[in-house]
Amino acid sequence: MAFSAFASAAPAQEPAPKRRSKIALLLLAPGVLYLVIFFLVPLFTLVTTALQAPTASGDIGQYVPGFEIGNYATVLAQYSPQILRSFGYSLVATVFALLFSYPLAYFIAVKVRHRPLLQNLLLVLVIAPFFISFLLRTMAWKSMLSDESFLVSALKGLSLMAPDAHITGTPFSVIFGLTYNFIPFMTLPLYAVLERLDTRYLEAGSDLYARPFTTFRTITLPLSAPGIISGVLLTFIPAAGDYVNASRQFLGGTGTTMIGNVIDSNFFDLQNYPAAAALSIILMSAILVLVIVYILLSVYVWKTGTEGLL
Amino acid sequence: MAGGVFAESGADLELVGIQKRFPGFTAIEGMDLTIPAGSFFALLGPSGCGKTTTLRLVAGLEEATAGRILIGGKDVTDTKPYQRPVNTVFQSYALFPHMTIIENVAFGLRRRKIADATGKAHEALRLVELDHLAARRPQQLSGGQQQRVALARAIVNRPALLLLDEPLGALDLKLRRQMQLELKSIQEEVGLTFLHVTHDQEEAMTMADTVAVMNKGKIEQLGAPEVLYELPRTAFVANFLGQSNLFTGPVEGTTGDSISVNVEGNRIVVPKSRAQRHSGEVTVGARPEKLTLHVTEPKPEAGTNLLGPGRVIDVSFSGVSTQYIVAIPGLGSIVVFAQNMGVGPLVGEGTETWVSWKVEHGFGLEDEAPRQPRFSSDTDTASIALEKKRALMSELEEA
Amino acid sequence: MTLQEARALGTVMETPAPRPSRARFSLGRWLLPVYSALALIFLLVPIVYTFVFSFNDSLKSNISWRGFTLDKWTNVCAAQGVCEAFGNSILIGVIATLAATTLGTAIAIALVRYRFRFRTGVNLLLFLPMATPEVVLGAGLAAEFLGLGADMGLVTIILAHTMFCISFVVVTVKARVTSLDPALEEAGRDLYASPGQVFWRITFPLLLPGIVAAALLSFALSFDDFIITNFNSGTTDTFPKFIYVSAARGVPAEANVIASAVFILAIVLVLAQQISAAARRKRLAKVQ
């Protein structure tokens, strides 16, 4: 199961006789070196930055190398609401995205399987939001949910909303935005796994006295587990680090800031690089726990090895 | 079925006026069929004849356009698959890949909340001699083993009716023959009603006590394998179930218990009791292994049909028997099987021969054979090649 | 069981008038298609909104409807900075795509075709950038660039975009290499082609669809990236950054025009590809 939602399921050929050759190194070296310099080194830089100490003069944005483990304690004490909120919001958004996407993915992958053109067109609709700027999509929701919007005036007119209530700037609108923006990330891996679901298993279940819901619970759901797990990671990871939806210019308010927002403000507004780095490391560590679980599942449960990650 | 009772024995299956239309074509047209309890019934036909659709209708996996389906006298037409006392051994086996063998076999029992599901599942696995693999996953089993698990998973539920959808199709020939015998003995042991769908005529005849030959959405003929083989009623059955030599011509005379047919000047006699029609243009035939080859002209005998002379145009040796193709002017190519009692073929290519068979081995069909075979004899490549060869030979001799 | 019983009961049975089984209208049968249609409409709502508001006769902010106009389409660059930001995005996208596609394709071929040590390490190195939150990637790179004293701008953005595109290129091209029958290359070698000729005349043309798909994906990722860009752009604007910066005082309708035009172009390309693929399937089915 490829982690990327974009990989098409290629019919697996007989594995090629794999040769050892200097050519392999030539092919690998530039890309691997690039990733080391621009991915691994930056991660390492974050680790060292997070331990830096302020200069003696205390100038803003000036730090010296150090071993200030205390930076972590400071940011944890200061930003624990934002950190917890990030994981809470993303968890709720992930669950909503899963509930929203599963029936849709099932319909496209299984129900219209015998009509490939329609199936592909529906898939294009699922990824259509990718073709328009992420920020503009979010902006559009902000306008549609703003206090002056038709929806809010209608709800207020029908007394379904208190006159002084808002939709934007609330946890609801932030979670709504996160859910909306990451739905395709959930739908695509679900689609990929459901597309390969052999409906004869469902017929066999039905033949063996399983009612539709039981068939779903005992056959469809376990068989689509790899897709669910990929989808959850693909949704949860960017949602936890996102700071556009939660920012005040978009769907958030003063009470909805997430870890991404505080990393951003520490970096740019306060120029407190050690704090921004420490927060990044905290976020990365939490995500790494999930990712390691996923890697272990790939290697030991699904037996696809680290090859299966790509 | 609800209630979780095991069927004590198989139940009758009745299909009444079943029709199934798909967008663009009709898969089954007005089918009536009764399969008595406890029988091993085979639906035999070429691919696309509607046999699998019939099976899926009985299982409830397809909805009939019209007609009724009764199992043990109860109308199940409008019930869902999981409400029917029917289980299927799927062609692909459809063993759940995420469950162990024992979980697969116990699946149906668990759904019906039957006590000691695991124990009963082990029992079913012992029946197919695979209990030692209970903890494995389907992918770790060979094709033949998977097939037996699929069978155990179905029969453990003691369904009133067991449906087998080409269950041996994916196995190699040797394993297939072995499984045919095993399936048959398991059916006798458990005493359930088996409905088996296959396109393999040998499989159908070996296993089933009743065979229905299907063609184009209809049952052409139904009966015990030997009756179906010895007395085909239609040209399709005569040719799908084994091979037949068919001849068409007008009935020119009837005696007390037989009719005689004039085929291009040759007289072929068939018993009235073995002929579906007794007047007009009829098609009569005989099986290749009932035919005898003669290298000298035998004396005409009452009770024997004699055709010839013709020439052997092809000899193919296949171990147990040899197939000869004899071209007789006006009658086309006639196929003769002869057991290899001696060493080597009886006659070689080009030999002048006569063909005879006993009147009581012939049969008369309800419909006419497609006209093509009668005329194709002059134009098929084998006879053209033979003619060429002969012409060249005579040219050489003359030179 | 005797033949006669079955025969008597079976084929000779009088056929009753076929009774059409009840045309069942079940809610269950319609629930899923209706839900799916509504779900897809929901996904498209902001796109339609963005498109509609590209015709809004707005002043500075583009929040309330003030009447229809084509001015924003005919005069896209009227809003200050929008065209410059768009141009930067295209430039960054093209260069980052070329770099990432080259580096990623080489890795994909090596992964499928060769054995080498540290394979697991390479797999993890490719997987982790896809599993790392953008804000961490962005902050890390920015910390590195700051430490090196580099000027933030076009160059740093391109370096960053190339980095996160490589993994996606590898995934996409790898799928294609895996589906490529190695016997084709062996046949090439058998027919006197040198290793270079085998690559350029056989491997590369067969991989091209995968490489093109990877390049398009890279470009799309680069074009729409905001978070990593924001950390590494200094004062340089890209199209997403332009929207973010102007969000506070109102995004001009010209941004909607550009986004809508890009959307229409992308959708037309994808649909054309899908429809031609469907036509090819149909032709193939006819041939067989």
Class of domain A80-260: mainly alpha
Non-local (6+) Cβ contacts of A252 within 8 A are: A169, A173, A174, A245, A246, A258, A261
Helices (H) and strands (E) in chain C, counts: 13, 1
Q: 3-class SS at C65?
A: coil
Domain boundaries, chain A: 80-260
Q: Tell me the pLDDT tens digit for each residue of C22-53.
A: 444 455 678 999 999 999 999 999 999 999 99
Which portions of chain A are predicted below pLDDT 70?
A: 1-19
Evaluate if residue B15 carries a pLDDT over 90.
yes
Mean of pLDDT values over C62-78: 87
**What's residue C79's pLDDT?**
86
A45 shares contact with chain C (CB less than 8 Å): yes
The minimum CA-CA distance between B92 and chain A, rounded to whole Å, is 8
Please give the share of chain B, as a percent, with pLDDT higher than 70.
89
pLDDT computed for residue B394 by the predictor:
67
Residue among A3, A133, A212 minimizing CB distance to C127: A3
| Closest CA of chain B from C278, distance in Å | 21
Average pLDDT score over residue span C153-179:
94
- Tell me if chain B has a CB within 8 Å of the CB of A140: no
Interface probe with B: pick from C4, C7, C24, most Cβ of B within 10 Å: C7
Contact status of A276 with chain C (Cβ, < 8 Å): yes
Q: What is the pLDDT of residues C184-218, one digit of tens each?
A: 888 888 888 888 888 888 889 999 989 998 999 89
- Please report the domains of chain B, with CATH numbers, ordered by start residue: 13-230 (3.40.50.300), 235-395 (2.40.50.100)
Q: C13 and B78 in contact by Cβ < 8 A? A: no
Residue B166 sits at φ, ψ, to 5 deg, of 40, 55
Per-residue CA distances from B156 to A14, A155, A266, B99, B378 (Å) = 38, 59, 67, 17, 58
Neighbours of C31 (CB within 10 A): 12
At residue B388, the pLDDT reads 65
What is the pTM for the complete model shown? 0.82
What confidence score (pLDDT) does residue A13 get?
41
Search chain B and give the residue with CA nearest C4. Answer: B223
Query: Is C18 a residue whose pLDDT tops 50?
Result: no
- pLDDT of C122 reads 94
Mutate to test the interface with C, among B13, B26, B31, B32 (most CBs of C within 10 A): B32
Asked if the model's pLDDT at residue B171 lies above 90, the reply is no
Per domain, the residue ranges of chain C are 82-240
Q: What is the pLDDT of residues B310-351, one digit of tens each?
A: 999 999 888 888 899 999 988 889 999 988 887 766 788 888
A133 and C239: CB-CB below 8 Å?
yes
Q: How far apart are CA A69 and CA A86, in angstroms?
A: 23
d(CA B59, CA B36): 17
Distance CA(C157)–CA(A33), nearest Å, equals: 18
pLDDT in tens, B114-127: 999 999 999 999 98
- Under an 8 A CB cutoff, do B212 and C10 touch? yes
Percentages (nearest 5) of helix, strand, coil residues in chain B: 30, 35, 35
Q: What is the pLDDT of residues B152-163, one digit of tens each?
A: 999 899 898 999
DSSP state of C16: P
pLDDT confidence tier of residue B256, bands split at 50, 70 and 90: confident
Interchain contact B282–C (C-beta under 8 A): no
What pLDDT does residue C15 have? 33
ipTM of model: 0.89
Query: Which region among B178-182, B275-279, C2-6, C84-88 has the lowest average model confidence (pLDDT)?
Result: C2-6
Q: Percent of chain C beyond pLDDT 70?
A: 90
**Rounded mean pLDDT of B291-316?**
89
The CA distance from A76 to A78, in Å, is 6
A139 CB neighbours in chain C (<8 A) are 50, 243, 247, 251
pLDDT of residue B397: 61
pLDDT exceeds cutoff 70 at C263: yes
Contact residues, chain C, for B209 at CB < 8 Å: 1
pLDDT of residue C5: 40
* Residue type at position C40: L
Distance CA C223, CA C263 (A): 12
From the CB of residue C126, how many other CB atoms can be counted at a distance below 10 Å? 27
Peptide bond into B97 cis (omega under 30): no
Quickly state the pLDDT bin for B8 (edges 50, 70, 90).
low
Q: CA neighbours within 13 Å on the CB side: how many for A198?
A: 12
Q: Across the interface, which of C111, C136, C243 has its CB nearest the CB of A136?
A: C243
Taking 50 as the threshold, does the pLDDT of residue B5 lie above it?
A: no
Token pair in block for residue B109: 């029992």
Contact C3 B30 (CB under 8 A): no
pLDDT of residue C24: 44
Q: Over chain C, what is the mean pLDDT?
A: 86
For chain B, percent of residues with pLDDT exceeding 90: 50
Annotate C155-209 with DSSP letters as a single string.
HHHHHHHHHHHHHHHHHHHHHHHHTS-HHHHHHHHHTT--HHHHIIIIIHHHHHH
pLDDT at res. B10: 67
Give the pLDDT confidence of B353-375 residue by residue, as tens digits.
999 999 999 999 988 776 554 44
Convert the pLDDT of each residue in B16-58 to its tens digit: 999 999 888 889 988 999 998 889 999 999 888 889 999 999 9
**Confidence at residue C162, expressed as pLDDT on a 0 to 100 scale:** 97
Residues 6+ away with beta carbon under 8 Å from B138 = B93, B95, B96, B97, B99, B101, B104, B146, B149
Given CATH 1.10.3720.10, say whether it is the number of domain C82-240. Answer: yes
- At C21, the pLDDT band (50, 70, 90 cuts) reads very low
pLDDT at C117: 83
**Interchain proximity C239–A128, CB inside 8 Å:** no
CA nearest A212 in B: which residue? B82
In the predicted model, what is the mean pLDDT of chain B? 86
